[in-house]
């Protein structure tokens, strides 16, 4: 199994964190992983994306030229990546921020209002964890337990409140229908 995924959005939306947590959870589940971040010089407000490749075998290249999954958090990301997802692939779309829809008929589309759900939790900045929870539920690529452990490891230096909030956001996305 070799799975290519791209997470993309504006800098400041937590796109790179989302990819990092996914990659780290995949390693915790015993997979080989590559994580390749890319962002503009201005970071917050500019474009950011990352490529994560997970496999049961060695990975030859961290580049995902035709990913199975693309997670888009804003309109520019949808426009940029809708044509690179492979035929039969899936786009995960932040319905709060994206007005457009993919023009292709050979892909599947999953939508979640990530910002709206995060706002209901009291902190719109955790929209990335809402999206990650939804992505993990729909793909089953890594275990929920591995993500929860990774969230704990990642956010515990910032305090218990951050761990709790991010886990709650993750579970809101994971439970979204």
**H helices within the chain, ranges in order?**
15-28, 75-81, 114-120, 127-139, 144-155, 160-174
Q: What is the average pLDDT across 165-176?
A: 97
CATH number at residue 15: 3.40.920.10
The boundaries of the domain holding residue 108 are 2-174
Residue predicted with more confidence, 49 or 158: 49
Q: Report strand pairing: 47-55 vs 32-39.
A: antiparallel
Question: pLDDT tens digit string along 84-139?
Answer: 999 999 999 999 999 999 988 999 999 999 999 999 999 999 999 999 999 999 99
Nearest-angstrom CA–CA distance, 50 and 81: 12
Question: pLDDT tens digit string along 21-66?
Answer: 999 999 999 999 999 998 765 555 677 999 999 999 998 877 767 8
C-alpha angle 80/7/70, rounded to 5°? 65
| pLDDT at position 1 | 87
CA of residue 58 relative to chain centroid, distance: 22
Confidence of residue 73 (pLDDT cuts 50, 70, 90): very high
| pLDDT at position 43 | 52
Q: Please, what sign has the CA dihedral across residues 57, 59, 94, 87? A: negative
Q: Please, what sign has the CA dihedral across residues 23, 85, 9, 100? A: negative
| pLDDT at position 83 | 94
Number of domains forming the structure of the chain: 1
User: CB pairs under 8 A, 24+ apart, for 147-155?
Assistant: 147/21, 147/22, 147/25, 149/25, 149/28, 150/21, 150/24, 150/25, 150/28, 151/21, 153/24, 154/17, 154/20, 154/21, 154/24
């Amino acid at each position: 199994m070799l799975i290519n995924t791209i997470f993309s959005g504006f800098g400041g939306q937590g796109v790179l964190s989302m990819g990092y947590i996914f990659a780290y959870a995949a390693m915790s589940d015993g997979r080989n992983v590559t994580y390749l971040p890319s962002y503009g010089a201005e970071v917050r407000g500019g474009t950011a994306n990352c490529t994560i490749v997970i496999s049961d075998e060695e990975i030859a290249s961290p580049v995902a030229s035709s990913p199975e999954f693309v997670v888009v958090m804003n309109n520019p990301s949808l426009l940029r990546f809708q044509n690179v997802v492979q035929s039969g692939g899936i786009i995960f779309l932040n319905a709060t921020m994206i007005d457009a829809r993919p023009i292709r008929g050979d892909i599947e589309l999953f939508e979640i209002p990530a910002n709206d759900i995060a706002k209901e939790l009291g902190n719109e900045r955790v929209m990335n964890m809402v999206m990650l929870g939804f992505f993990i539920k729909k793909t089953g690529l890594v275990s929920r337990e591995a993500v929860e452990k990774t969230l704990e490891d990642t956010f515990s230096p910032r305090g218990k409140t951050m761990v709790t909030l991010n886990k709650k956001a993750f579970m809101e996305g994971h439970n979204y229908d």
